[in-house]
């Protein structure tokens, strides 16, 4: 009986994760293409994508390395882009924290926007699920997603060198970033955070080693958090 | 764009990111358990992506390296169309295709 329900939760996760391959496929391909264009070998590109498994952070590192940014700043910026997964990890902990360590380690690796978003909704909607069932659901969401991402990166890397210069690939990455971030601007606090960071980075364009990026990121985060506090304070009055 | 990276730099970045991004994901679910986090930390974490990504993109939009840093109508318009579409539709792919379409159409017309 138990294994039947565990299987059915895996299947439900799989169905919920399926639409996201429409996003993972083009972005994985794009990463493969751009990494190859930037001079990475197929092997380097695939190791990158397998070990890091974080789209936006991978694109950030690639972009900054091409601007001759010091390694430490590349790492800090790329990991900062990915700080939100720490928040996901914190938010999933009450639901999955009781699972065995190896399962939690595996779940940590697969914690991305899509697996988090589906899981948290599912776990809130059906609070009586067991930890085992929750893990099954979580890995169900990941099951169509991760292989698509790896395969698409591979296809992109294999394709990379054959794309003509007239496609202006230099600007596909900025467009991809804007497309990722615009839908995240859900509240006024998000808009304020983004606006402050843009103003600071443009004013700080003369700061060496891309340090302006880190300053702008910090300024944006603080602005967003302050705006949220102020807006919540007003709502409470 | 075809400059080869120094292998030491590249592998430092790959390994550093592999360890770092796993650590970020593992720290709470693996180590902290279900103790709650201070609200102020969560409040700042919520804005990391919307603060860093625009800061990464803005200089590339205003001073694109491909034109030697001269502002370029096609790229500026493509960026604005992407942002507006993404904000209005909340759809990553729609925004991406609208932006790329604008870029290629304008480059074709002006080039």
Contact between residue A54 and residue A156 where contact means Cβ atoms under 8 Å apart: no
* pLDDT of A208: 80
Name every residue whose Cβ is closer than 8 Å to that of residue A28 and which is 6 or more positions away in sequence.
Answer: A49, A55, A148, A149, A150, A151, A152, A153, A155, A156
The answer to whether residues B27 and B14 belong to one domain is yes
**Helix axis angle, A21-37 relative to A55-66, nearest 10°?**
20
Q: Where are the alpha helices (DSSP H) in chain B?
A: 7-26, 39-45, 48-62, 73-89, 92-110
**pTM, 2 dp:** 0.81
Q: Which domain holds residue B76?
A: 38-110
Q: Count chain A–chain B contacts defined by CB atoms under 8 A.
A: 289
Yes or no: say if A140 and A12 are a contact pair by the CB < 8 Å rule. yes
The answer to whether residues B46 and B77 belong to one domain is yes
pLDDT tens-place values along chain A, 237 residues long:
467 788 999 999 999 999 888 888 988 999 999 999 888 999 999 999 999 998 889 999 998 998 888 999 999 999 988 887 887 888 788 889 889 999 999 999 999 988 988 898 899 889 899 999 999 999 999 999 999 999 999 999 998 778 777 777 778 889 988 998 999 898 999 999 999 999 999 999 988 877 888 899 999 999 999 999 999 888 877
Residue of B nearest to A67 (CA): B65
CB–CB of A89/B26 below 8 Å?
A: yes
Which residues contact residue B38 at a Cβ distance below 8 angstroms, ignoring those fewer than 6 apart? none
- In contact, A89 and B25? CB cutoff 8 Å: yes
* Secondary structure class of B111 (helix, strand, coil): coil
Q: Is A210 an 8 Å CB contact of chain B?
A: no
Query: What pLDDT is stored for residue B33 in this prediction?
Result: 62
Residues B84 and B45 in one domain: yes
Burial class (CB in 10 A: 0-12, 13-18, 19+), B27: middle
Closest CA to A174 of B100, B43, B21: B100
Which chain A residues in 130-149 lie under 8 Å from chain B, judged by CB atoms?
A: none
- Please state, in angstroms and rounded to a whole number, the distance separating the CA atoms of residues A77 and A58: 11
Q: Are the beta carbons of A178 and B17 separated by less than 8 Å?
A: no
What letter does residue A207 receive in the DSSP assignment? S
- Check CB contact of A40 with chain B, cutoff 8 Å: yes
| Residues ≥6 apart with Cβ < 8 Å to B6 | none
> Does B100 lie at the interface with A, CB-CB under 8 angstroms?
yes
Same structural domain, B89 and B52: yes
Could you tell me the two tokens for B31?
């180590």
**Do B49 and B25 sit in the same domain of this protein?**
no
Q: Are residues B46 and B69 in the same domain?
A: yes
**Structural domain boundaries in chain A:** 2-169, 185-237
State the pLDDT confidence band at B1, using cuts at 50, 70 and 90: very low
Task: Assess whether B28 and B65 both reside in one domain.
Answer: no
Closest in A65, A74, A217 to B51, CB measured: A217
In a shared domain, residues B5 and B29: yes
| B1 SS3 class | coil
Per-residue pLDDT tens over the stretch B47-104 = 888 888 899 899 999 999 888 889 999 999 999 999 999 999 999 889 999 999 999 9
Of B16, B53, B75, the CB nearest to A181: B53
Tell me, yes or no, whether B2 and B52 share the same domain.
Answer: no
Can you give the C-alpha Rg of chain B in angstroms? 19
Beta carbons within 10 angstroms of residue A199's beta carbon = 17
Inter-CA distances, B85 with A20, A30, A154, B80, Å:
19, 20, 29, 8
Number of domains into which chain B is organized: 2
> In sequence order, what DSSP letters do the residues of A37-106 get, joined into one string?
HTT--HHHHHHHHHHH--HHHHHHHHHHHHTT--HHHHHHHHHHHTTHHHHHHHHHHHHHTTS-HHHHHH
Residues B10 and B59 in one domain: no
| Per-residue pLDDT, B2 | 43
């Amino acid at each position: 009986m138990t294994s039947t329900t565990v299987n059915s939760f895996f299947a439900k996760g799989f169905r919920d994760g399926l639409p996201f391959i429409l996003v993972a496929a083009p972005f994985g391909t794009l990463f493969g293409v751009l990494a190859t264009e930037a001079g990475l070998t197929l092997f380097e590109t695939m190791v990158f994508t397998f070990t890091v498994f974080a789209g936006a952070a991978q694109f950030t590192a690639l972009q900054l390395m091409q601007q001759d940014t010091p390694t430490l700043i590349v790492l800090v910026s790329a990991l900062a882009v990915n700080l939100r997964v720490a928040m996901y990890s914190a938010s999933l902990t009450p639901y999955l924290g009781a699972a065995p360590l190896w399962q939690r380690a595996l779940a940590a690796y697969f914690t991305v926007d899509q697996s988090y978003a589906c899981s948290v909704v599912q776990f809130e909607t059906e609070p009586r699920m067991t930890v085992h069932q929750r893990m099954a659901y979580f890995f169900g969401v990941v099951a169509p997603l991760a292989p698509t991402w790896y395969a698409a990166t591979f296809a992109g890397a294999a394709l990379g060198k054959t794309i003509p210069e007239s496609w202006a690939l230099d600007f596909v990455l900025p467009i991809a970033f804007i497309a990722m971030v615009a839908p995240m601007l859900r509240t006024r606090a998000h808009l304020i955070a983004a606006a402050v960071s843009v103003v600071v980075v443009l004013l700080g364009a003369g700061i060496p080693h891309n340090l302006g990026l880190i300053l702008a990121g910090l300024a944006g985060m603080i602005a967003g958090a302050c705006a949220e506090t102020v807006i919540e304070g007003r709502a409470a009055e | 764009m075809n400059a080869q990276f120094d292998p030491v730099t590249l592998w430092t970045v790959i390994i550093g990111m592999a360890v770092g991004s796993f650590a970020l994901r593992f720290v709470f679910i693996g180590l902290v358990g279900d103790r709650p986090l201070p609200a102020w930390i969560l409040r700042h974490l919520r804005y990391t992506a919307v603060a860093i990504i625009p800061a990464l993109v803005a200089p590339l939009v205003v001073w694109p390296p491909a034109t030697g840093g001269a502002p370029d109508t096609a790229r500026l318009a493509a960026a604005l169309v992407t942002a507006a579409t993404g904000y209005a539709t909340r759809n990553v792919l729609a925004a991406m295709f609208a932006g790329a379409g604008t870029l290629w159409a304008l480059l074709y017309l002006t080039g």
